């Protein structure tokens, strides 16, 4: 039995992960910014006081934590000359600084225990970077870097870190999207709505990756293929990305 805290657990991948952990007999604190059925604790990942309260709740309930899942996130993006700096700040505050705060909150607990596992939900966009999505790509790449750093820095305490990098999967993520580039938002909405997998399938692969202790969890075939192409055949990868970029010209 592991003691697990999941952020962004009201729906989507977070809710699927909570379900998956509980099915295996793990104890889970399901948190979210919004109150909803299945959410145990209100935790807005951008609010330091919420993180302090979450740590206090975990200490009181369990005396420690085994797995922190930084899953909560929002969708964003927009072409370079359309997206605003405020949009960049908004997505960074949530998708990067939210994860930074969660990690910093629980590192003292993990160090004290000399055990623990930080699981950050990044995105395939953190590894391969399609046109039109600079802000989302950049913050998810930062989450990849943060996770690798966490794994190195906490290795002396026996603490592990994993980053989850899925391709598009079907959730309501797009309802969180803000931004001036509405045409680009429409393109991303179609990709999410038309994705072959849903959150339950992604969660199964994520749990398997956590069990295996994988530092990089690529839970779907599309993501594995895209990343392998980038590593193995950079010219072909660049050509694919440029074709996708050329199609964005039609957005005007």
Ligand X SMILES: NC(=O)c1ccc[n+]([C@@H]2O[C@H](COP(=O)([O-])OP(=O)(O)OC[C@H]3O[C@@H](n4cnc5c(N)ncnc54)[C@H](O)[C@@H]3O)[C@@H](O)[C@H]2O)c1
Angle between helices 12-23 and 199-212 in degrees, nearest 10: 50
CA distance 121 to 177: 17
Does 65 participate in binding ligand X (rule CB under 6 A)? no
Does 105 participate in binding ligand X (rule CB under 6 A)? no
By C-alpha distance, which of 148, 159, 161, 166 is closest to 203? 166
Q: Of the ranges 11-19, 84-92, 103-111, 148-156, which one interacts with ligand X (CB under 6 A)?
A: 11-19
Pick the binder of ligand X from 6, 20, 73, 118 (CB under 6 A): 73
Does 166 participate in binding ligand X (rule CB under 6 A)? yes
Pick the binder of ligand X from 101, 103, 123, 185 (CB under 6 A): 123
168 is catalytic: no
**Is-contact 6 29, C-beta < 8 A?**
yes
* Backbone CA torsion sign across 193, 74, 146, 44: negative
Pick the binder of ligand X from 6, 20, 41, 71 (CB under 6 A): 71
Does 13 participate in binding ligand X (rule CB under 6 A)? yes
CA dist 19 → 87, 213, 249 (Å): 32, 20, 42
List interacting residues with ligand X (CB under 6 A): 7-8, 10-14, 32-34, 43-46, 71-74, 94, 98, 121, 123, 166, 168-169, 171-173, 176, 192, 199
Catalytic residues: 136
């Amino acid at each position: 039995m592991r003691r697990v805290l999941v952020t962004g657990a009201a729906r989507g991948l977070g809710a699927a992960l909570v379900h998956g952990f509980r099915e295996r007999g793990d104890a889970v604190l399901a948190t979210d910014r919004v109150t909803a059925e299945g959410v145990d604790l209100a935790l807005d990942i951008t609010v330091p006081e919420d993180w302090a309260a979450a740590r206090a709740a975990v200490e009181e309930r369990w005396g420690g934590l085994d797995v922190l899942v930084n899953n909560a996130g929002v969708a964003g993006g927009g072409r370079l000359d359309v997206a605003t700096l405020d949009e960049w700040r908004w997505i960074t505050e949530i998708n990067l600084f939210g994860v930074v705060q969660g990690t910093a909150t629980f590192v003292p607990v993990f160090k004290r225990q000399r055990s623990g596992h930080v699981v950050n939900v990044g995105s395939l966009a953190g590894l391969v970077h399609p046109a039109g999505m600079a802000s989302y790509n950049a913050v998810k790449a930062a989450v990849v870097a943060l996770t690798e750093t966490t794994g190195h820095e906490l290795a002396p305490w026996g603490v592990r870190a994993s980053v989850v990098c899925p391709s598009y999967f079907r959730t309501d993520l797009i309802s969180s999207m803000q931004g001036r580039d509405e045409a680009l938002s429409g393109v991303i909405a179609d990709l999410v709505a038309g994705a072959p997998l849903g959150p339950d399938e992604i969660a199964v692969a994520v749990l398997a990756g956590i069990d295996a202790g994988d530092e990089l969890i690529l839970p779907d075939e599309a993501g594995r293929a895209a990343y392998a192409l980038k590593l193995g055949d950079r010219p072909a990868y660049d050509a694919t990305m440029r074709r996708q970029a050329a199609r964005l010209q039609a957005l005007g």
